[in-house]
């Protein structure tokens, strides 16, 4: 069970926390679960989010493994070993923040931190049956987080409950001001092509909340997914291309990085055009709704043996990646299914309304549980 790649003992007596091994901890090498970084020098300083954790009295007990170089969605890692999915044996833990999600699911930490560039918090949260939150882009500091430069990536927490997720946000964002739950939430449901069992679970959960529902059309949704792939490819290649020459990058990631290096300036320019258009479409939806809703993943998590081709499984991020491009806050809520497999309900909020999004989620969960008991 390769969940924790570095044992630590820092901080106070507050919540027990682990962080993804793309987040600097002073005196410890940041290796991003890559053999190519095996001999990396220890970090000279804490990442700003680690400073905030320690200032809040949290107890930092470990660094968690991930899909190598945070450039994959399954969590499979031949170098460090793949984190076991504690709640759904034989299924992928999801990536790239696999170890952080698995640590919460296994009860090894009260909350953990991951990073989300194309779904890398929300996907493993869904796969492991825990809560995962991607804040608004720029809301949480990325100083001391790998890669140093990104227009997509966000540090975000995992927890087994919504109150603990809120505790995590209070710790890593000193500006966080918890909000009381609203009396009603208008929900805009985004029509996507999910598998029938997943869609049934999500539709049933939304109906059971008793909140007013409406349909939302986002014409550029699919284009935003494709554009998000273009941007992440260019930015990850820029950050990691120097590691390819070592010959130590895993074959699956090396192949993706080499292909990412072929991203053209024209493709990137078109992706930025899509980013602007899609962001406008999402912003317009919030004139009518407080929250947008859709599944986190199109289908149940794959079995490990089905997920060996990194590029072939990228479609599992089809419903999450667009909101990295637009920068909106997004939360994955764990739901069950008749099949005994995890489903995620994804809630999306307007830019900068992160506290309101979690407050709305609290109301929806209260209504969902009360209406089902």
Residue 297 is predicted with a pLDDT of 98
Instruction: Report the number of secondary-structure helices (H) and strands (E) in the chain.
Output: 10, 11
Residue 181 is predicted with a pLDDT of 86
Residue 37 is predicted with a pLDDT of 98
Assess whether the previous peptide bond of 147 is cis (omega < 30° from 0): yes
Q: Is the pLDDT of residue 1 over 70?
A: no
Query: Residue 170, by phi and psi: left (phi above 0), alpha (psi -120 to 50) or beta?
Result: alpha
Alpha-carbon span 194 to 101, nearest angstrom: 23
Does residue 98 have an active-site annotation? no
Mapped onto helix, strand or coil, the DSSP state of residue 259 is helix
Contact 82, 98 (CB under 8 A): yes
Average pLDDT over residues 265-280: 98
Round the average pLDDT of the chain to a whole number and report it. Answer: 97
Average pLDDT over residues 346-361: 98
Does residue 120 have an active-site annotation? yes
Percent of the chain exceeding pLDDT 90 equals: 95
Q: Is the pLDDT of residue 359 over 90?
A: yes
Average pLDDT over residues 185-193: 97
Can you tell me which residue has the tokens 């208008």?
Answer: 186
The crossing angle, in degrees rounded to 10, of helices 221-244 and 251-260 is 110
Catalytic residue, from 34, 98, 120, 150: name it.
Answer: 120
Q: What is the DSSP letter of 37?
A: G
Average pLDDT over residues 301-313: 88
Counting Cα atoms < 13 Å in the Cβ hemisphere of 295 gives 27
Q: What is the DSSP string of 117-164?
A: SSSTTHHHHHHHTSEEEEPPTTSS--TTBSSS--SS-EEEEEESSHHH
Q: Is the pLDDT of residue 7 over 70?
A: yes
pLDDT band at residue 314 under the 50/70/90 scheme: confident
pLDDT band at residue 341 under the 50/70/90 scheme: very high
Q: Is the pLDDT of residue 301 over 60?
A: yes
Residue 159, C-beta contacts closer than 8 angstroms, at least 6 positions apart: 104, 110, 111, 112, 130, 131, 165, 167, 168
Domain span at residue 54 reads: 4-371
Express each pLDDT in 151-176 by its tens digit: 999 999 999 999 999 999 999 999 99
CATH (domain of 366): 3.90.1300.10
Residue 179 is predicted with a pLDDT of 94
Residue 282 is predicted with a pLDDT of 98
Express each pLDDT in 66-122 by its tens digit: 999 999 999 999 999 999 999 999 999 999 999 999 999 999 999 999 999 999 999
Residue 325 is predicted with a pLDDT of 98
Does residue 362 have an active-site annotation? no
pLDDT band at residue 373 under the 50/70/90 scheme: low
Express each pLDDT in 18-46 by its tens digit: 999 999 999 999 999 999 999 999 999 99
Q: Is the pLDDT of residue 312 over 90?
A: no
pTM for this prediction: 0.97
Alpha-carbon span 237 to 256, nearest angstrom: 9
Q: Is the pLDDT of residue 310 over 80?
A: no
Alpha-carbon span 339 to 135, nearest angstrom: 31
Catalytic residue, from 33, 34, 63, 96: name it.
Answer: 96
Of 134, 97, 132, give the one whose Cα is nearest residue 111.
132
Express each pLDDT in 41-75 by its tens digit: 999 999 999 999 999 999 999 999 999 999 999 99
Overall number of domains in the chain: 1
Residue 303 is predicted with a pLDDT of 96
| φ, ψ dihedrals at 271, nearest 5° | -60, -40
């Amino acid at each position: 069970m390769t969940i924790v790649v570095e044992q630590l003992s820092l901080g106070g007596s507050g919540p027990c926390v682990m962080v993804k091994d793309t987040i600097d901890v002073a005196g410890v090498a940041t290796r991003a679960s890559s053999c190519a970084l095996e001999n990396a020098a220890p970090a000279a300083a804490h990442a700003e989010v680690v400073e905030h954790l320690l200032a809040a009295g949290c107890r930092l007990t470990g660094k968690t493994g991930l899909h190598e170089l945070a450039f994959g969605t399954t969590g499979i890692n031949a170098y460090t070993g793949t984190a076991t999915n504690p709640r759904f044996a034989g299924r992928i833990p999801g990536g790239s923040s696999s170890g952080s999600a698995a640590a919460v699911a296994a009860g090894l930490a009260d909350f953990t931190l991951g990073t989300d560039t194309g779904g890398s918090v929300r996907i493993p949260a869904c796969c492991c049956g825990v809560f995962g939150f991607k804040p608004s882009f720029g809301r949480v500091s990325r100083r001391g987080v790998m890669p140093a430069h990104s227009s997509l990536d966000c540090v975000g927490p995992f927890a087994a409950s919504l109150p603990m997720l809120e505790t995590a946000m209070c710790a890593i964002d000193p500006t966080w001001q918890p909000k009381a739950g609203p009396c009603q939430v208008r929900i805009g449901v985004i029509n996507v092509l999910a598998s029938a069992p997943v869609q049934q679970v999500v539709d049933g959960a939304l109906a059971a909340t008793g909140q007013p529902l409406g349909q939302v059309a986002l014409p550029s949704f699919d284009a935003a997914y494709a554009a998000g792939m273009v941007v992440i490819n260019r930015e990850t290649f820029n950050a990691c291309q120097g590691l390819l020459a070592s010959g130590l990058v895993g074959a699956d990631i090396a192949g993706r990085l080499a292909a990412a290096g072929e991203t053209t300036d024209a493709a990137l320019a078109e992706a930025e055009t899509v980013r602007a258009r899609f962001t406008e479409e999402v912003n317009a939806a919030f004139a009518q709704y407080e929250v947008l809703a859709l599944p986190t993943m199109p289908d149940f998590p794959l079995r490990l043996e089905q997920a060996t081709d990194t590029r072939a499984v990228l479609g599992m991020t089809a419903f999450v990646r667009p909101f990295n491009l637009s920068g909106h806050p997004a939360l994955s809520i764990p739901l069950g299914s008749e099949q005994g497999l995890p489903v995620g309900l994804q809630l999306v909020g307007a830019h900068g309304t992160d506290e309101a999004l979690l407050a709305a989620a609290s109301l929806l969960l209260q209504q969902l549980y009360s209406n089902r008991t």
